A and B are shown apart, each in its own frame.
Chain A
């Protein structure tokens, strides 16, 4: 096992791997696994408002999976949809946080849809296991949100 900073960095990258799974319709199992299922878990996404407590957090990720269940633009694509960039981690005892920039590219029927968002993830070590307890992404620009909304209403990308 590496240093705490290396462990936290690995957990945050696993979170974005789990997000990639979700966006590619591979389910939410990896996302469920990377979180501590606590009543103080919180998350906020590029669209929507706060989910507080694991029950609401889990529902938000499941709905995110449902939203992107109709997205087909990645079917013939080998590169990642998105990932975290410029990640900086700070460890403070059994808590740690990482700040970075999430960049993603979606291929929609009417062109590319790009996203660049500041993100913060808080990781907590319980019984020696680091997992996510908080995720915050900035709200996406309104035209991005509108494009995703049109995709959901149409039932296809």
Chain B
């Protein structure tokens, strides 16, 4: 899927994210655990900016199979990404689901950001993640 790739890693095993962007306009973000303040801050600074590199034929994947429900600050950082995605060009958006309560939180945030029609949920097994 990804051409020439560049990676950003933030956080620890307990909570963090990884951004894998590509020169061909695709974007994959993997997120896990519960984010401490420094991870929230880094996500807010990096993820929406990375989403600006998506192109009309690009694919966005948000791998959340190991992500826990986030607190108010983490939710707001994800909202900033979703608002960016709501106005970005891309062909297909996928959230890889795991924890059911996290999925419900993400579904609510998508709806709040008017991005629910652009991004669908997929099982990790079906997605081959």
Bound: A66/B101 CA distance, A: 11
In the bound complex, do residue A48 and residue B102 qualify as a contact, i.e. CB atoms below 8 Å apart? Answer: yes
- Residue pairs across A and B with CB atoms within 8 Å: the count is 52
Binds A, one of B20-28, B65-73, B76-84: B65-73
Residues of B within 8 A of A (CB-CB), count: 17
B68 CB contacts on chain A under 8 angstroms: 49, 51, 56, 59
Q: Contacting B108 at CB < 8 Å: which of A48, A58, A145, A152?
A: A152
In the bound complex, do residue A49 and residue B99 qualify as a contact, i.e. CB atoms below 8 Å apart? Answer: yes
Q: Contacting A145 at CB < 8 Å: which of B71, B98, B100, B102?
A: B100
In the bound complex, do residue A153 and residue B111 qualify as a contact, i.e. CB atoms below 8 Å apart? Answer: yes
Q: Indicate if A132 sits at the interface (CB-CB under 8 A).
A: no
In the bound complex, do residue A59 and residue B70 qualify as a contact, i.e. CB atoms below 8 Å apart? Answer: yes
In the bound complex, do residue B34 and residue A55 qualify as a contact, i.e. CB atoms below 8 Å apart? Answer: yes
In the bound complex, do residue B103 and residue A63 qualify as a contact, i.e. CB atoms below 8 Å apart? Answer: no
Contact bitstring B15-59, A, C-beta under 8 A = 1, else 0: 000000000000000000010000000000000000000000000
- Which A positions have Cβ atoms within 8 angstroms of B? 45, 47-49, 51, 55-56, 58-60, 63-64, 66-67, 145, 148-149, 152-153, 155
